[in-house]
Amino acid sequence: MSVTKGHFIVFEGIDGSGKTTQINLLKKHIEENNFICHDTKEPTDGLVGSLLRQCLAGKAQTDEMTLAALFAADRLDHILNDKDGLLKKLEEGISVISDRYILSTYAYQSVRVPLKWVMDLNSMAVGKLRPDCHIFIDIDPDIALERIAKGRKSNELFENKKRLTEVRNRYFDLFKQFKDTENIIIINGTQNIEKIADDIWKNVSKYFIIEGGE
Ligand code: ADP
Ligand code: TYD
């Protein structure tokens, strides 16, 4: 008997935009609808992802080209890993929510590295797996930095106003570039947590309605 493939939903946004908060709520909502849901993130906790986290925290240092290549390598492992890779989960019928995916590398790394090269690095990943939708939680960098300062874990590398402003602008350039080929949903992240969760559910509930159900 063939298993219906899971759905793949990606959250995007600048640091501190509220992705983790909303991913937890969406996962709960999906499970309440009797679907199996796995949440994951990039950088991953795998071999390359751990190296990236050391760089983000300032415990290790490398140049921005190497970082771009590492993000692409971490993504391939995330997709292809035999044990818990994205393709395996989706093929088992498990839906997956990822905190960040390809658009993060395009938006963050293209600030310092040519976008064309970043896209070339990710072409294999794009060919293997594209999301059903990208949910972008939009928030002003000042608000994001205020939230980050209020105490959650922080990574030093990109969490400054100049970089986050550039990254946000690049996300919007990308949305124009991909408007006909990718399903991108932009959500106002300055609303309260419940309203944001409602807006997200309105856009993704269609994937979690059982045919023939109530
Ligand atoms: P991200 O995963 O995108 O970095 P988080 O979900 O960790 O973002 O949120 C960053 C901080 O902002 C957390 O302290 C969280 O509690 C808070 N937060 C999240 N969403 C909202 C919101 N809509 N309004 C106010 N604070 C929020
Ligand atoms: P993280 O602590 O997960 O931050 P957040 O919760 O805000 O997502 O750190 C991820 C950092 O890595 C964040 O600054 C964005 C950056 N990043 C890239 O620069 N390129 C990428 O491809 C990915 C996946 C993340």
Q: Which has the closest alpha carbon to 56: 196, 137, 147, 159?
A: 159
Distance CA 8, CA 205 (A): 13
Residues 82-123: tens digit of each pLDDT: 999 999 999 999 999 999 999 999 999 999 999 999 999 999
Give 24-37 as a DSSP string: HHHHHHHHHTT--E
Q: What ligand has the least distance to the C-alpha of 100?
A: 2
**CB neighbours of residue 166 within 10 Å:** 18
- Where do the structural domains in the chain lie, given as residue ranges? 8-212
Atom 18, ligand 1: residue with shortest CA distance:
18
Report, as an integer, the average pLDDT of 186-212: 93
Distance 214 CA to ligand 1 centre (A): 34
More confident residue, 150 or 128: 128
**Which fold, 8-212?**
Rossmann fold (3.40.50)
Give yes or no for a contact between 91 and 5, defined as CB atoms under 8 angstroms apart.
yes
Q: What ligand has the least distance to the C-alpha of 189?
A: 1
Counting Cα atoms < 13 Å in the Cβ hemisphere of 94 gives 15
3-state secondary structure of 134: strand
Could you identify the atom of ligand 2 that is nearest to the CA of residue 101? Answer: 24
Residue positions counted in the chain: 214
Q: Is the CB of 56 under 6 A from ligand 2?
A: yes
Distances (CA, A) of 82 to 34, 78, 79, 111: 26, 10, 9, 33
Distance CA 21, CA 24 (A): 6
- pTM higher than 0.95 for the full model? yes
